[in-house]
Amino acid sequence: MEQDHAAARDKRRVALTSVLAAVFLTVFKLIIGLLTNSLGILAEAAHSGLDLVAALVTYLAVRFSDRPPDQEHHFGHGKVENLSALFETLLLLVTCVWIIYEAVDRLLFKDAEVEVNLWAFAIMVVSIIVDINRSRMLYRAAEEHRSQALEADALHFSTDIWSSAVVIVGLGLIALADWLPQYRAWLLRADAVAALVVAGIVIWVSLQLGKRTVDALLDRAPAGLEEQVRAAIAQVEGVQTCSRLRLRAGGPTIFVEATVQVSPDLPAAQAHEVATQVEQAVLAAHPHSDVMVHVEPTEFAAEDIVGQARGLSAQAGLSVHDVHAHRLSDGYHVDLDLEVPPGLSLEEAHQVATDLENTLRDRIKYLARVSTHIEVAPPPLRDAGQDVTASHPDLVTQVQTIAESQDPVLECHDVSVRQVEDGSLYVSLHCLCPGGIDMQAAHRCSAQVEDGLRTVLPQVAHFLIHVEPAKDDS
């Protein structure tokens, strides 16, 4: 707050200094212009007079624009600076009309004797020196405090330097008339031509100021700003897209309204953190911004946690099953069963699991924890295997009995026993369950049957359980 007050005081001080400089130049130019009858100097005096009015308006504008928002002005009073710039533009254009009229009148219809003396040159040189210093001072303050009113004043006064230089050239050409009598008629018109040049410069500056002022009053987004803000938002982790971005300038402040999309599964606390980071990113790119961020979930989940875990495991050449993902307050927790070759030691298998867990944590966003259950992968079936179902009737009976004891299994059938080259047994079976149960219940049923079979029949290397709906649930 104290920093804001210091900035406001500095802006008012600079604006008041510009007012005093305008008073000095206007009075000095007017006196010398009347004494020498130089239209160029009188045009500069009128120009400086309007500079004085513009400087006063700027001073009042920076005082008023720094007022905080109130119940009637929710976005503050920054637009006052834009209004002052528009007023300054209109004053400059009115001045140009008078200067052009007088210049054309002197060029075509009447002669006006101009007295060129040291004072005429002196006032223009002094004017250039004053304008150089105050335009630098205004530019510095405008850049430091992002004041459009001060920036408009600075641009205005910097063009005064060139217009004053044009007047000096015109006075110099008139002074040469006595030395070059054959060109006297043309040289005496140099003052009026200089005035036209000054008017042209003022018109050009006025149009530039007017365009910028109207753009600001119509809330046109500053050129190139949208791309910069979008680039800053895109760097924030967790932001999938920025669907809507609205920008408007109000004095030194840029008002930013951004709508960003995040994963629909993202916890509320983390979504809020994303919004905070977006605001900080925009402020880092444009410190004088007022940022409002709205967070929306994407229509579809961009992060399929289970799918990513399976895919990354496959890329590592590993097989996983029973992958489960749960969203907790600190992020996602993933549990999975990892199959490792039977020849590995415990230490080697544990290292494989650790490497996979690190990969998942590094590659999957918002993954807080991953837990692996290590299992021995069944050896691949070989062509040398054979069907030995008929040789193991007791085993088939045991499998059917254990399976049908599990709820909600209705019937167990199609039990098949295969023996592979190393003597290991592989058993497959079909379990009928009610067709109305959901897949989660069906999966639990399959897991329960497998657990029961492994407990009673440890000699079997692998069980394949196929769950199917009963044809008639009634």
Residue 179 domain-assigned (yes or no): yes
Residue 429 reports pLDDT greater than 70: yes
Q: State whether 255 and 370 are in the same domain.
A: no
Structure tokens at 137: 């001072």
Q: Please report whether residue 444 resides in a domain.
A: yes
Mean pLDDT of the region 8-28: 73
Domain count, the chain: 4
Q: Which domain holds residue 433?
A: 386-469
339 beta partners: 319, 375
Alpha helices in 222-345, H assignment, sequence order: 225-234, 268-285, 305-315
Q: Tell me the pLDDT tens digit for each residue of 324-367.
A: 888 777 778 899 999 988 788 888 989 999 999 999 998 887 78
As a residue count, the chain comes to 474
Task: Please indicate, yes or no, if residue 304 is contained in any of the structural domains.
Answer: no
Is the model more confident about 426 or about 307? 426
Question: What pLDDT score does 110 carry?
Answer: 63
Residue 90 pLDDT > 50: yes
- pLDDT-derived band at 55 (thresholds 50, 70, 90) equals confident
Is there a single domain that holds both residue 233 and residue 337?
A: no
Q: Pick the range with the lowest mean pLDDT from 45-59, 135-149, 177-191, 213-227.
A: 177-191
Is 381 a member of any domain? no
Give the rounded percent of residues in the chain with a pLDDT score beyond 70: 70
Question: Is 70 exceeded by the pLDDT of residue 233?
Answer: yes
> Does the structure show a pLDDT above 50 at 302?
no
d(CA 305, CA 327): 10
- Quick check: is 305 in a domain? no
pLDDT at 279 exceeding the cut of 70: yes
Q: In this structure, what CATH number is given to the domain that contains residue 28?
A: 1.20.1510.10
Where residue 188 falls among pLDDT bands split at 50, 70, 90? low
- How many helices (H) and strands (E) the chain has is answered by 13, 10
Whether residues 204 and 250 share a domain: the answer is no
Residues 26 and 121 in one domain: yes
Q: Per-residue pLDDT for 473 more than 70?
A: no
Q: Cβ distance 376 to 338 under 8 Å?
A: no
pLDDT grade for 98, boundaries at 50, 70 and 90:
confident
Give residue 395's pLDDT. 95
Local confidence band at 45 (pLDDT 50, 70, 90 cut-offs): confident
**Higher confidence at residue 219 or residue 122?**
122
The tens digit of pLDDT for each residue in 101-139 reads 777 876 676 654 555 567 667 777 887 887 788 778 777
Residues 370-417: tens digit of each pLDDT = 999 988 876 665 556 789 999 999 999 999 999 999 989 999 999 999
Let me know if residue 306 belongs to a domain. no
Distance CA 383, CA 377 (A): 18
* Residue showing tokens 């030691």: 345
Q: Looking at the structure, do residues 34 and 83 belong to the same domain, yes or no?
A: yes
- Write down the pLDDT at residue 457: 94
pLDDT of residue 472: 65
Q: Return the exposure string of 423-448: e unless at least 16 CB atoms fall within 10 Å of the residue's CB, then b.
A: ebbbbbbbbbbeeeeeeeebeebbeb
Same domain, 93 and 197: yes
Determine, yes or no, domain membership for 474. no
Question: Exposed/middle/buried for 452, CB within 10 Å: 0-12, 13-18, 19+?
Answer: middle
| CA geometry: angle 277, 283, 284, nearest 5 deg | 85
Shared-domain flag, residues 154 and 255: no
CA distance 412 to 464: 13
The helix (H) or strand (E) run that includes residue 137 is helix 118-145
What pLDDT shows up at residue 301? 47
Q: How far apart are CA 83 and CA 86, in angstroms?
A: 5
Q: Are residues 349 and 398 in the same domain?
A: no
State how far the Cα of 281 lies from the Cα of 274, in Å rounded to an integer: 10
Do 240 and 205 lie in one domain? The reply is no
**473 or 343: which carries more pLDDT confidence?**
343
Q: What is the mean pLDDT of the chain?
A: 77
DSSP 333-377: EEEEEEEE-TT--HHHHHHHHHHHHHHHHHHSTTEEEEEEEEEEP
- Among all chains, which residue has been given the structure tokens 């500095």? 10
Give the pLDDT score at 157: 67
What per-residue confidence (pLDDT) applies to 474? 46
**Cα–Cα distance, 179 to 185 (Å, whole number):** 12
Task: Cis check for the bond before 287: say yes or no (omega within 30 of 0).
Answer: no
b/e per residue 339-352 (b: at least 16 CB within 10 A): bbeeeeeeeebeeb
133 and 194 in one domain? yes
- For residues 85 and 371, which has the higher predicted lDDT (pLDDT)? 371
Q: Among the listed ranges 27-36, 140-149, 264-273, 456-465, which one has the minimum average pLDDT value?
A: 140-149
Assess whether 34 and 154 both reside in one domain.
yes
List, as one string, the DSSP characters of 419-472: E-TTS-EEEEEEEEE-TTS-HHHHHHHHHHHHHHHHHH-TTEEEEEEEEEE-S-
* CB contact at 8 A, 415 and 474: no
Q: Domain with 261 in it: what CATH number?
A: 3.30.70.1350
Q: Give the residue with greater pLDDT, 229 vs 64.
A: 229
Residues 115 and 249 in one domain: no
Residue 58 domain flag: yes
Measured distance CA(150)–CA(137) in Å, rounded: 10
Per-residue confidence at 2, pLDDT binned at 50, 70, 90?
very low
